[in-house]
């Protein structure tokens, strides 16, 4: 570390080529709600332009179908089930709730590589001092600590804390702030400030918007842009939040183009849209043609909008169809920073694949566990045991050919018993390296006992 500081002090030109790294995560974004995926209720020109500026990954996955474990996976480069972070950290001993303290984060890696690091927005990885972002590798923090937060802030309101949802409780560092405004705009202002305050050295920014998660608040400035044909209040609120998200992506990308062109940008959602009532903070998000929603190991819960852009380094307008994962962000960022990723990670450096320097898939297979739910994808095949929350049943293993049936409508398990046996064993082998959850989930997350659907 001392050598790195000496090099920075006396030979700053050695580090001039280190790109900035920006990771933008939307919250519960419906796969079908953005224009590039066919969404048409409100325009999303800035999100679409970001997708077109680089590589649009049509099989981009997160490692869990739910907020906190998904983010824990991205932050560590490992499935959160490897270290017991299977459910949202809402119930249990505060000192143990959150990303386990023995796990190194992408912020630790980038900080040690000489980067200025910041998190702006949603954390949801624990809320005591030891789990705070500034205890986990982030130099700066501006946002909220738990799973949900109101969008329309009032500085005279009484702050309210809950392990799942806070109200008017935004922190700068470790200190609560009294603020008026709209969180999407405030987070964007802070992100732009961070970029420009650290323009003399490489920076890593994790920009975690709470849009389009509940509460579905309508911002007054968006009222005239909402389609009159949409009457449902919740859907109108969702579309208002989506408009705000798209506007702010435009502000971010304009700033990058003008002042920070050497920036590797990732954009994805933490999980699928939450379109089903009354489960998992329903936000009316639409995931078609994918089946399922947030909280399910069906494609609608784990396959998300996923774009990677880097001006002059990655091809613009490319569509990449091989399965990849948010677990890959950490090793990719470490690679461009010129440092090593931690031992034991499951992600891979994506750049050789996205640049067509490697023709093979980044992963032989990807696997998931979320309570009683299971899934594994290998090539075009997906084996999944998902939960019907309304019926309170498990599907049992079902097999789908995602190339022919991305909507997972035709179960081919009976036609390919050997493949089911192979993939289920592969899932068992993967699962053998997982550990028990460190804290309990809600009845939706971790129902006991799980009822298997009758044949």
Please confirm, yes or no, whether 67 is among the known catalytic residues: yes
d(CA 138, CA 155): 26
Task: In whole angstroms, give the CA distance from residue 83 to residue 255.
Answer: 38
- Encoding tokens for residue 46? 């800035």
> How far, in Å, are 9, 13, 20, 83, 200 from residue 259 at the CA level?
23, 18, 11, 39, 11
Closest to 253 measured CA to CA, from 14, 11, 48: 48
CA-to-CA distance for 113 and 347, rounded, in angstroms?
Answer: 19
Helix ranges (DSSP H) in 164-287 = 183-197, 233-259
* CA-based torsion, 183, 101, 206, 34: positive or negative: negative
Q: Is the dihedral of CA 109, 111, 116, 117 positive or negative?
A: positive
Asked about 57 being catalytic, the answer comes back as no
- Looking up tokens 């971790």 gives 446
- Pull the structure tokens for residue 355: 């640049």
CA 178 to chain centre: 28
Q: Out of 37, 57, 67, 165, pick the active-site residue.
A: 67
Determine the Cα–Cα distance for residues 227 and 42; give it in Å rounded to an integer.
7
Contact (CB, 8 A) for 407 and 28:
no
Sheet of 398-401, strands arranged across: 366-370, 373-378, 381-385, 398-401
Catalytic residue, candidates 37, 85, 90, 124: 124
Q: How far is CA 443 from CA 148, 270, 271, 303, 453, in A?
A: 19, 21, 19, 23, 18
Count Cα atoms within 13 angstroms, Cβ side, for 377: 27
Which helix (H) or strand (E) segment holds residue 67: the answer is helix 67-76
- Return the beta strands (E) in 58-126 as ranges: 60-61, 116-122
- Active-site positions read 67, 124
């Amino acid at each position: 570390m001392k050598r790195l500081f000496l090099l920075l002090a006396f030979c700053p030109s050695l580090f001039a080529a280190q790109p900035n790294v920006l990771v933008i995560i939307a919250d519960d974004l419906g796969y079908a709600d953005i224009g590039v995926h066919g969404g048409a209720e409100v325009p999303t020109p800035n999100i679409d332009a970001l997708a077109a500026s680089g590589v649009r990954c049509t099989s981009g996955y997160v490692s869990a179908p739910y907020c906190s474990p998904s983010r824990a996976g991205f932050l560590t480069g490992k499935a959160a089930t490897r270290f017991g972070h299977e459910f949202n950290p809402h119930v249990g001993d505060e000192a143990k709730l959150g990303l386990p303290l023995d796990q190194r984060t992408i912020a630790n890696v980038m900080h040690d590589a000489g980067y200025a690091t910041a998190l702006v927005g949603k954390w949801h990885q624990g809320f005591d001092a030891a789990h705070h972002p500034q205890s986990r590798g982030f130099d700066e923090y501006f946002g909220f600590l738990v799973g949900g937060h109101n969008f329309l802030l009032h500085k005279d309101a009484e702050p309210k804390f809950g392990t799942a949802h806070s109200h008017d409780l935004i922190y700068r560092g470790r200190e609560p702030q009294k603020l008026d405004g709209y969180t999407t705009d405030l987070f964007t202002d802070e992100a732009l400030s961070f970029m420009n305050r650290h323009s003399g050295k490489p920076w890593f920014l994790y920009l975690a918007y709470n849009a389009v998660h509940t509460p579905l608040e309508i911002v007054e400035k968006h009222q005239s842009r909402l389609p009159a044909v949409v009457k449902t209040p919740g859907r109108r609120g969702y579309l208002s939040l989506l408009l705000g998200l798209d506007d702010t992506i435009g502000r971010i990308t304009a700033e990058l183009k003008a002042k920070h062109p050497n920036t590797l940008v990732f954009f994805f959602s933490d999980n699928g849209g939450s379109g089903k009532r009354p489960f998992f903070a329903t936000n009316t998000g639409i995931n078609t043609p994918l089946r399922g929603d947030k909280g399910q190991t069906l494609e609608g819960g784990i396959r998300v909008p996923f774009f990677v852009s880097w001006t002059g380094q990655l091809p613009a307008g490319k569509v990449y169809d091989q399965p990849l994962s948010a677990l890959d962000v950490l090793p990719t960022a470490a690679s461009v920073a010129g440092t090593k990723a931690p031992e034991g990670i499951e992600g891979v450096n994506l750049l050789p694949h996205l640049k067509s320097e490697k023709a093979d898939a980044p992963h032989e297979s990807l696997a998931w566990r979320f309570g009683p739910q299971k899934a594994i994808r290998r090539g075009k095949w997906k084996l999944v045991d998902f939960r019907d929350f309304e019926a309170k049943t498990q599907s049992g293993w079902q097999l789908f050919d995602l190339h022919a049936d991305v909507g997972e409508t035709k179960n081919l398990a009976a036609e390919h018993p050997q493949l089911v046996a192979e993939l289920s064993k592969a899932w068992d082998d993967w699962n053998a390296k997982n550990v028990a959850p460190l804290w309990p989930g809600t009845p939706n997350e971790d129902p006991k006992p799980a009822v298997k659907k009758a044949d």
